Chains A and B, each alone.
Chain A
Amino acid sequence: MISRRKVKETVAGYLFCLPAILLFLSVGLYSVLFSVFLSFHNWAGVDFAGTARFVGLDNFRYFLFGGSAINTRIFFLGLFNNIRIGFFTIFFVIPIALGLAFMVTNTKRSGALRTVYFLPLVASGVGIFYVWRGLFGAFGFLNRMFSALGLEFLVVREGLLGNPRTAIIGVIITTVWAGIPGTMILYYAGLASIDETLYEAAEIDGASKVKTLWYITWPLLKPITIIIIIHELNKAFQMFENIWVLTGGGPGGATDVVGTLVFKNAFELQRYGLATAMGWSVFVLTLGLSLLSMKLFRSETN
């Protein structure tokens, strides 16, 4: 039989949670459900009950299945940009962050190094991306540096961000730069949590540094790596801020991602239903990738 005291404690526990639950239901869950509902409507942003028009799957057809040939092409180009930004970010961020985490773990000046490497994490994104924009300009630091070093073939006349073929490189560079500190923190924590006795046992068995790294450190960091991959993929598909500041999606739409297309449709063209439908399409894709990664993660840990 459950004691009266136990019941009171349970009720009290739920009561303490109630404000947070109510907040989540009223703000979090409501907005999510509303946006799903909205994606099946045509709505200009004001007075939903009075002005929204149910359009079924037309919004999805418009940009996914050629309802508007131009918008379909633009959407898939944007999605392709999301994917390649995600791929290259993961490709570069993981080894760089892992290397830096090793450095920070195995150096006496780890405090100073940590401060330097974590700076991108605490600096204001918009402000910093404006600085990057200047560095990448036609007369910016990058072009001047290449010229000074005699590497004229690397100079992009209109600036890295002013050429449709190179603008995405600028975006990827800033994304990698912004992604390193957070990833490094995770690896740093992962490295710190590895039991020292494992290394001692390996040393006694005569394992080389490389073998220790390959057979002890890396397997134990794999779960963290999968979390990082999921995290970076999510970030890549939700990308907006740096692209908006750096290029606004240009030149010629070369750096548009789904995030910038959602913004343009919602806040410039007042097509909230269409914009939400775009957002949910990407969510489904991200969810699928995350589930796949989680499955991999489970099989690895098992």
Chain B
Amino acid sequence: MRRFFLVLVLALFVTGLAVSGGKKEAATTDDAAGLTLWTWKIAMAPGFEAAGRLFEEATGNRVTVEAFSPDETYRQRVIAAANSGDLPDVINWWAARGLGFENTLVNLNDRVTDDFRARFGATAFNNSIVRDRDVRNWASDPQTSSVVLGLQAGDIHQIPLDVGGFFTIYANNDILREVGLEDTVPESFEQFVEFAAAAARGTNRAGFVFAGGLSDVYYNWMGRAVEASYLGVETSVGLINRQEKMSDPENIKPLLAFEEMVKADVLLRGSIAMNIDEADQAFAAGQAAYLLGGSFTFGQLSAMGMDVSNVSSFAVPLLEGSRHDQFLRNSFTLTALAISASSPNQDAAWALVEFLTADPVGAVALANDAYILPAANLGGHTNQLIPVLQNMYDGFSDEPNVVTLVDNHPDSIGRRAEWGELYNDMQRIITGDLTAREVAARFDANAAAEAAGGN
């Protein structure tokens, strides 16, 4: 009897090992495939599910959406799954070039034809297609991984899903009314600071709030537009390429303007330690007259319970004397969809990706439930977007703004380590530990030291 139980236990053990260790059986056909999609955007999950149901009705392929939060968890989950060959069929990821795990994704070069690209906005693929300059810049950076070094110009591993734009100031007209500035768009950066200061003086609130706890938010959401508009494309690219000095009397002016804004005491106390949600919450709670945000902020404020009927928005104001006197808001791709190279249902997965990204029916269904702006060119379907999305969609210009021109400049080497230090140092301007001139000098010294080190 004892031997019988021993054999039974052993048999169960061996069976268990076989089951758990066995490879997944690859499906031989895509007919009625069950597809799995991963995302880290919890708020987008209902949209994926709504569009997934439409996709199932049309194709018979069921879509399972799995969302993992926060960002760090999702990154690790995807990297771990990529290592073990367990990636889902479709992966939602930040739209970028040089992801580092392209070797586990399907190369979509053949699928993305000119006709397919024509179904998207003009700049939608800017973040997805590897360019010559990317290949050149990666080769010159000693920390570039082999996967990225193996990419070639023209490679595409992601299809744009949603677009958005930063460089937006939100105004609380209830607060601004108290100082007679409701619905008044400042004509310059200097006037914006004046308005914010007036609001701070005339009400019991702060003038301006942004997520100062994240060192790069001010620069990437506002500072770049102010700087590039003032300096122009060539000088801005010169700063990136280490040919220009930040401490140059002209080049330092955007940084000095930032310092003046800080000195005007318009920032909400504690904003230096705030993340994006906390800054949005502070604005939604009526603690500041202006908020720095993006196209995605409006939905966030509404979700936080703010009465958004008295909130208006405008593009970031520019410095007086800027070479570009108008800043057009361009959209750029925020997130994209990729297909796992280990998916047994690659054709069905492509059909789903196409439906969610390029097909106006799928894109609109997703957008309306996920509160995102589709990357697809919606054409006559734009009016099917909910009004708030439709307004934002129409607010973007197709003409490239100065920041887009800088970002896509063919000679740019890309921002290197000195920029990360600049963002940190700008936090120290807020806290009064560094002046703008000191920050500029440190930036120049850092850039020179990195260049000398071959980085």
Contacts and interface: CB of A to CB of B under 8 A. Distances in A.
Interface of A: 42-47, 50-53, 55, 58, 62, 66-71, 133, 137-139, 157-159, 161-165, 247-248, 250-253, 267-271, 274
A252 B422 CA distance: 9
A51 B449 contact: no
A174 B346 CA distance: 50
Contact of B431 (A67, A251, A271): A251
A248 B278 CA distance: 15
Contact of A162 (B103, B273, B424, B453): B273
B273 A44 contact: no
B146 A52 contact: yes
A43 B79 CA distance: 12
Contact of B270 (A45, A66, A162, A253): A162
Chain B interface, DSSP helix/strand/loop, else mixed: helix
Given A137-B270, A250-B213, A70 B146 contact: no
B431 A68 contact: no
B192 to A, nearest CB: 22
Given A161-B273, A250-B213, A45 B101 contact: yes
B431 A162 contact: yes
Contacts of A69: 446, 449-450, 452-453
Contacts of A269: 143
Interface residues of B, number: 44
A62 B446 CA distance: 15
Contact of A47 (B104, B144, B273): B104
B82 A46 contact: yes
B381 interface: no
Contact of B142 (A62, A137, A138, A158): A62
Nearest to A269: B143
Given A50-B103, A53-B146, A159-B270, 16 more contacts: A42-B144, A42-B145, A46-B82, A47-B82, A47-B103, A51-B145, A55-B142, A62-B143, A69-B452, A70-B418, A162-B213, A164-B428, A164-B431, A165-B433, A250-B215, A274-B143
A158 B272 contact: yes
A137 B273 contact: yes
Contacts of A45: 79, 82-83, 100-101
Contact of B273 (A53, A70, A159, A271): A159
B72 interface: yes
B453 A68 contact: yes
Given A70-B417, A267-B76, A252 B147 contact: no
Given A44-B148, A46-B103, A50-B103, A67 B453 contact: yes
Task: Find the residue from A66, A133, A247, A252 having the highest chain B CB count within 10 A.
Answer: A252
A271 B143 contact: yes
A167 B272 CA distance: 11
B442 to A, nearest CB: 10
B273 A138 contact: yes
Contacts of B323: none
B425 interface: yes
Contacts of B111: none
B194 interface: no
Nearest to A166: B431
Interface string B98-129: 00110110000000000000000000000000
Nearest to B102: A46
Nearest to B149: A53
B455 interface: yes
Contacts of A267: 72, 75-76
Contact of B269 (A53, A157, A252): A157
Contacts of B174: none
A139 B103 CA distance: 49
Contacts of A270: 79, 100, 145
Contacts of B146: 42-44, 51-53
Given A62-B142, A68-B453, A252-B215, A46 B147 contact: yes
Interface string B70-87: 001001100100110000
A285 B430 CA distance: 35
Contacts of B150: 51
